[in-house]
Amino acid sequence: MLDPSCWRVSDHALGRMMDMLIEPTQLADCLLNPDEIAPSRKYVGGFNYRKGDITCGVSHDSNGRKRVMTVVWSSQELWDQDFDFAPYQDRERRDFFGAEKKVSA
């Protein structure tokens, strides 16, 4: 599991995990044993940790701990499958790179 002296998980990331049905063990595995770590385009000085189906956006808090800011699917296919299962409340369907997608009624 994640050491709370080193890691924090934002309320937003916890909400995303619940939306996506991501287990805490899957989050911990992504952060502690990532397949890839890449610089974040969204969080200055942060990184994206990818493991299998999920990617975690990570920055640092004021105490120097790593802070999980968000959890997202790692591929367009997974985003599409999720939206086909149940659309997110108040969220537009977008492609993996942020462009709007047409949603059929």
Note the pLDDT tens digit of each residue in 62-77: 888 899 999 998 887 8
Model confidence at 85, pLDDT cuts 50, 70, 90, reads: low
Assess contact for 52 and 74: CB atoms under 8 A.
yes
In terms of pTM, does the model score above 0.85? no
Q: 70 or 103: which carries more pLDDT confidence?
A: 70
The domains found in the chain, sorted by start residue, are 7-85 (3.30.2310)
Per-residue pLDDT of 24-57, as tens digits, reads 999 999 999 999 999 998 888 899 999 999 999 9
Q: 86 or 11: which carries more pLDDT confidence?
A: 11
Phi and psi at residue 75, in whole multiples of 5°?
-145, 160
Q: Give 61's contacts (C-beta < 8 A, 6+ positions apart).
A: 8, 67
Model confidence at 99, pLDDT cuts 50, 70, 90, reads: very low
Average pLDDT for the chain: 82
CA–CA dist 74, 56 (Å, integer) = 9
42 by DSSP, 3-state: which? coil
Assess contact for 80 and 37: CB atoms under 8 A.
no
What is the pLDDT at residue 91?
A: 60
Q: Average pLDDT, stretch 77-92? A: 69
